[in-house]
Structure 1
Amino acid sequence: MRIGVVNDRPLVLEIICSVVAAAGHRVVWKSTEGALAVKLCCEDTPDLVLMDLNMPVMDGVEATRKIMSLCPCPVLVVTSDVHKHVSKIFEAMGAGALDAVSTPDGRPSENLSGKGGFLDKIAMIERLGKNPVQRNVRGTPVRKRTPLLAIGSSTGGPSALAAILGALPENFPAAVVIIQHVDGCFSDSLSRWLDSQAGIKVRLAVAGDTLKVGEALIAPGNKHLVIGKNGVLNFKPDNGESPYVPSVDIFFKSLGELSPVPGSVAVLLTGMGADGAEGLLKLRNLGWTTVAQDKESSVVWGMPGVAVKMGAATHILPLEAIGPTMVRHFNKARGME
């Protein structure tokens, strides 16, 4: 790959360039500060930018934001310690960075083995790069627009999700994103269990994912899932804005910042409280089709009940009807009926 490298410490910059070159990639330009990196990127847009996070004048977050606006390309944040800069990493991901990794250690003259994590991230982005980011006339990212079925659920949700996903065929013509209130230690088990119940592929969402037809992504517990204006899924830390982590409202409201893809649907299922009701109303007001599970089939008619009272749902359906209705809806939207 053709790679641009940004780091304000000359020795670290040299180390990163050496690791990249030793792995068979080509460093096409390098910069010690963010503003120059933006200029170089727009003059010679690489396949990947390795972006330092903390720099004077223009930091990695702002440089990433400008690159994604002016000359979009994949950006990987490379910082001294990802565990010490979590909040700023999420800011960078919100600005369009795909992922983050700690800076490889060691001097350029040393053996460069043991850089697997760093190089694995680059390899992952290289695979993603087979579907490159393009630009429209205004310089903003353009991605293939994928119709979406967004689902929020809580108490009683796993069984309800299994019923809906089990009704979706393998060739279901939309992407699915699920926000289920669950502790992080159970997220992987839930995704594997739902995958065994579903007609489509189900897995945990990871930072940098994009929407894919016929695939369902589940938000991991203990972090909020959002979608950026470039169509990339990322996480944001819990700053106390919601008692629920992950939050349905936070994800639905992030969807509301995008231009809606015709035919997309948001569904609010059984659960205590009111999470998702405000987000569902926002999406309805933006022209989305919105669905609330009915009282009779809900384990707890809290979240969908509040949504119904707010007028957020265009349809109120029993659980057993939601899956088949979604199949008919998205097939019709694709022109199959």
Structure 2
Amino acid sequence: MVFKVLIVDDSAFYRRRVREILSEDRELEIVGEARNGQEALDMLIKCAPDVVTMDVEMPVMDGISAVKAIMTRRPVPILMFSSLTHQGAQATLDALEAGALDFLPKRFEDIAQDRRQVSGILRTKVRLLARRKGSLSRTIPSRSNRAPDMPANAPRHSFFRSSTMLSGRQDSVTLPTVSSVTRSGKKYACLAIGASTGGPVALHKVLARLPATFPTPIILVQHMPGTFTNAFAQRLDSQCNIRVKEAADGDELKPGWAYLAPGGKQMVVEHRGPQPVLRIIDDADNPATYRPSVDVTFTSLANIFGGQVLGVILTGMGADGREGCRLLSQGGASIWAQDQISSVVYGMPQAIAKEGLAQKSIGIENMADCIITEMAV
């Protein structure tokens, strides 16, 4: 199957660069180029793309406005290109809030140092998002009191072990999806959630439903650059009844608080005296792992809390979280996975489902209610 791509950027040089990379993939066909959001809108019907790559900052109509218009008129998966700055983080989160599914740093050297790896990541993301076209619906982003839904996340080179992890192939899944659960009666000390591609929308949908009286700390690991995690945590905090913060070294874990792992670093839980605290580790010299890594954080939780953890793996590429979930499961922890149909990319949830580690497969719309029921909120 060949997927049609529309490239939108005001820079002719950047359009040419993206075209060259994507054209190397026989599954991708460049059907058009636009210099701004308005041109992109004009070309939608003519080109009928399966996926759009979109710059944030453009004349005439910027990327955020274009995403809103596209998702209202003719929904199509959109991959944003963004600068890794605080301003870029805010703009990208706005674009994701408007309906874009994912984003990548505009400077390709921020994705990976190896050009072949950069090209592989970009092509794979475009293919994966193109496959989601049929699941999109025509909607106007909501502006409720608490918040609109927010899709997508942001990887850079530290998130990927190799391009072979990004095949995007989806095997059949035997674990049936459930919409509700019966409380098991287990005692929990922590809720832990890992996510990658598509994670911000999934995290928002879960966290926005949790009450301020949530009985345990919540540990969040979302693959995202360091310049984005603080802005993302602040945005979630403004939209949720629980409190959300970017984790800092030495944070004591409190009930009703969610701690988001800082991008580009590792987050572990350890004992310093009687109270579990967070430790933030800068392991920039270790290129072999995701930063932050679900496996690293979940392994520390297994060591500290044993079976008193509800671990949840949401949408994302690759298999980060599989080994951490294995250790948690061996200690008696409960492990849940987001189901295939509601995942933007079914890589991470599939990895634990195929290993028999996931006890339940749950659609994202029902995940929060199931968590509330299980943890007796």
What TM-score comes out, normalization by structure 2 length?
Answer: 0.48
Q: Distance in 1 between matches of 2:241 and 2:370?
A: 15
Q: In the alignment, is residue 255 of structure 1 matched against residue 297 of structure 2?
A: no
Q: In the alignment, is residue 167 of structure 1 matched against residue 209 of structure 2?
A: yes
CA contact (8 A) 2:307 2:334 kept: no
Q: Distance in 2 between matches of 1:147 and 1:296?
A: 30
Partner of 1:185 in structure 2?
227
The structure-2 alpha-carbon separation of the partners of 1:229 and 1:241, relative to structure 1 and needing over 3 Å to count, comes to: farther
Partner of 2:292 in structure 1?
246
CA contact (8 A) 1:229 1:257 kept: no
Partner of 1:291 in structure 2?
336
Q: Distance in 1 between matches of 2:206 and 2:305?
A: 26
Aligned pairs for 1:67-146 (under 5 A) are: none
TM-aligned CA deviation for residue 243 of structure 1: 3.2
Q: Distance in 2 between matches of 1:182 and 1:276?
A: 15
Q: Distance in 2 between matches of 1:325 and 1:311?
A: 20
TM-aligned CA deviation for residue 235 of structure 1: 1.5
1:102-134: CA deviation from partner (whole Å, max 9, x where unpaired): xxxxxxxxxxxxxxxxxxxxxxxxxxxxxxxxx
CA contact (8 A) 1:146 1:211 kept: no
Q: Distance in 2 between matches of 1:254 and 1:173?
A: 20
CA contact (8 A) 1:146 1:175 kept: no
Partner of 1:201 in structure 2?
243
TM-aligned CA deviation for residue 244 of structure 1: 1.2
Among all aligned residue pairs of Structure 1 and Structure 2, give the percentage whose two residues are the same amino acid: 41
Q: In the alignment, is residue 309 of structure 1 matched against residue 354 of structure 2?
A: yes
Aligned pairs for 1:10-29 (under 5 A) are: none
Partner of 1:225 in structure 2?
267
1:216-256: CA deviation from partner (whole Å, max 9, x where unpaired): 11011010001114422102222426431000000001112
278-287 vs 251-260, greater mean Cα deviation = 251-260
Aligned pairs for 1:49-68 (under 5 A) are: none
Across the two proteins, how many residue pairs are aligned to each other? Answer: 187
Q: Distance in 1 between matches of 2:371 and 2:230?
A: 25
Partner of 2:368 in structure 1?
323
Partner of 2:258 in structure 1?
216
CA contact (8 A) 1:222 1:245 kept: yes
The structure-2 alpha-carbon separation of the partners of 1:295 and 1:311, relative to structure 1 and needing over 3 Å to count, comes to: same
Q: Which runs of 5+ in 2 are unaligned?
A: 1-186
The one-letter amino acid paired with 2:244 is V
TM-aligned CA deviation for residue 259 of structure 1: 4.1
Q: In the alignment, is residue 281 of structure 1 matched against residue 323 of structure 2?
A: no
1:25-69: CA deviation from partner (whole Å, max 9, x where unpaired): xxxxxxxxxxxxxxxxxxxxxxxxxxxxxxxxxxxxxxxxxxxxx
CA contact (8 A) 2:189 2:305 kept: no
The structure-2 alpha-carbon separation of the partners of 1:165 and 1:214, relative to structure 1 and needing over 3 Å to count, comes to: same
What TM-score comes out, normalization by structure 1 length?
Answer: 0.53
Q: Distance in 2 between matches of 1:241 and 1:275?
A: 14
TM-aligned CA deviation for residue 305 of structure 1: 0.6
The one-letter amino acid paired with 2:262 is P
Max radius of gyration: which structure?
1
Partner of 1:270 in structure 2?
315
Q: What is the CA RMSD across the aligned residues, in angstroms? A: 1.7
CA contact (8 A) 1:201 1:215 kept: yes
CA contact (8 A) 2:307 2:329 kept: no
Q: Distance in 1 between matches of 2:288 and 2:373?
A: 34
Q: Distance in 1 between matches of 2:356 and 2:207?
A: 26
Q: Distance in 2 between matches of 1:146 and 1:292?
A: 18
CA contact (8 A) 1:146 1:212 kept: no
The structure-2 alpha-carbon separation of the partners of 1:205 and 1:270, relative to structure 1 and needing over 3 Å to count, comes to: same
Q: Distance in 2 between matches of 1:283 and 1:251?
A: 11
- Determine helix, strand or coil for the equivalent of 1:192: helix
The structure-2 alpha-carbon separation of the partners of 1:272 and 1:205, relative to structure 1 and needing over 3 Å to count, comes to: same
CA contact (8 A) 1:154 1:181 kept: yes
229-238 vs 288-297, greater mean Cα deviation = 229-238
The one-letter amino acid paired with 2:297 is F
TM-aligned CA deviation for residue 282 of structure 1: 1.3
- Determine helix, strand or coil for the equivalent of 2:193: strand
The one-letter amino acid paired with 1:180 is Q
